[in-house]
Structure 1
Amino acid sequence: MAGIVVIGAGQAGASCAAKLRALGHDGPITLIGEEPVPPYQRPPLSKKYLLGEMALERLFLRPESFYAEADIALHLNCTVTAIDRKDRVVIAGGQAIGYDDLVLTTGSVPRRLPGRIGGELAGVHVVRDLRDADSMAPEFVAGRHVLIVGGGYIGLEAAAVAASRGLKVTLVEMGARILQRVAAPETSEYFRALHRAHGVDIREGIGLETLLGETRVTAARLSDGTEIDVDFVIVGVGITPATELAEMAGLEIENGIRTDAFGRTSDPHIWAAGDCASFPHEDGRLRLESVPNAIDMAECVAANILGAETPYVPQPWFWSDQYDVKLQIAGLNTGYDRIVTRPGDGAGHVSFWYYKGDRLLAVDAMNEPRAYMVGKRLIDAGKSADPALVADPATDLKALLSA
């Protein structure tokens, strides 16, 4: 019996393998990862791990012993170079491994600066995996100057760590405002004010023209012509789904590895889940870059491999930690046409509720866990709440659940 092979030992891959065992699958399971360590959490890499507040072992999703105890063959530091769909074999580390079903949980890769503008200089970093975090950690010395390129959540989280460690921080965002792609102007304004209060120099509508230096970055020229001396650079300009292996195998690609509602790819014996996969959603297709999606979709795929035939229905939620602010996001704000602001219980406590007409789409909650919880429950249930009641601080949020 060839069994089930999972390529990609991140959150999705580990979740899929563990769920297969939990659901009673007693055949062989092989989990293949390129990194030399067991599957681990990625979000803390740009937060507590980079701050030195979380040890490596605490990053691990499960103790390494779990995989042996669950009879999951864990292949670490191993690269898959090919998929032979005809013979149902993958080539990993020079070894041929057969499969009955194959799951692709290859994740995503960070966009890097091109070499022509200095992206290959030493001192230019991205934040995606453990190696990235370990390579940049020695750079965080109080008094040094870091340039952060990109005003999304990764860039802002890195800025928060650097400012908290006493570094001088300049952040440039080519768009008109930080978080422009993912959040309302109200949320952008909240985090702009938060970072500036911590000394971060945020420059919006300004991009990077080039990095300067012979072998290591020493300065940056911005699109407005200014030059600034920098000690190192962190690039946070988004990620792309890791589809190279799937493309080489001839699978259909559409903003990621194209799957049906059950997680099957264009090959009925190959499945995909997590950052790398796009799936049917409402009137189009969706690809979600989040830990909850990686877990939920991978577990759904595990069940479907075993015959459940359950469509994957995402219940999106996200989070970001910056300084003493915990942002929790429920739902997807695509297509919103108005924002309802609900004041919180203290300074810096607020939530922004996204509506399309009378339909509640999403909630951004800053240090407001109750607003997040209520908003998420409403969205998951397909319900909305009267915007006037949401905006009224006298309204008991929990009462909205039964309204």
Structure 2
Amino acid sequence: MLADGTLLRGEAFGAVGTAIGEVVFNTGMTGYQEVMTDPSYSGQLVTFTYPELGNTGVNTADQEAPRPHVRGVISRELTPVTSNWRAEGDLEHWLAENGVVGIRGVDTRALVRHLREGGAINGAISSDGSTPVELLEQVRAAPSMEGLNLAARVSTAEPYTWTEPCSAAFDTRLQQRPERPYRVVAIDFGIKRAILDRLVAHGCSVTVLPADSSLEAVLSHSPEGVFLSNGPGDPAAVSSGIALVKDLLTQVDLPLFGICMGHQILGLALGGRSFKLPYGHRGLNHPCGSPGQVEITSQNHGFALDADSLPADRVRITHHNLNDHTVAALQLLHQPVFGVQYHPEASPGPHDADHHFARFAALMADRR
């Protein structure tokens, strides 16, 4: 049930219940487990445009967090057979065990077209006997994604360190690491394990701090660089993160690297504005770049920075999304600071943009 009254019927899978959230779509042909465990999808019902889910099952190595963060899953088909040498279980039982409600048998092509024409919208998936009238009332009472600080919900409660990879795919892109690891503090707005793995691969020893950390807390770890992570919700609502980045930019001279929400928070700290995209960018084949250089990127975000609001005397926009010309990357002109809107850790997705991690490591090496 969508907030505009659109009703689609299908078959239930996963957990039994009602899930309410923002209905969005992801165009990737693979990586459904990474998507479902990505904290950036907190509060959302994800429509998968690839018509069949579950082919490769699930395994612990592909999880971006200890549990799924999607609120619900919408699929055309769910395979009855799991076939992959890495599989440790099947998708349907895994979703049921983790309390994620799903619906299959839906015309996802029609739903995606509806979302593209009208924009992302709140909705509900229900398998507990709730009536359409009851569901519509609940959906219309649910808050909009605009103004929601979901980073506070998914961020770590306590600091922790990340010095070794957890991903089975880590060694396939292992980089040369320095004799002494670079000390990095990562601010967790909803961080993915694959990002932590890529930081380690490029020579970092990472201390992960909560989203509401202060400048004093960051500096107590004597960092050589600070990383601002991805995360869910409205970046403008993450006031503590914006305040922290303002302090970092004005009071210390450290390399600073932001991805996705971290990139947006960086722009907001510089005095820029963010806005909600009609239906967001969620997929694995978004072209981004500058004249003469294009990267095919993995993306997952519903907000973007307003290019005209960024201070031209401090900021250079280095990459645009070549589909809609929104800001895809920026760097500061006089400080070792940059951010990218997309996901260079490529989990899932292409590896074109992995060099941004090497760029961050090079800034810390120069500072040493």
- Which TM-score tier does this pair reach, normalised by the shorter chain? under 0.3
Larger radius of gyration: 1
Higher relative contact order (CA 8 A, sep 6+): 2
Return the TM-score normalized by structure 1.
Answer: 0.25
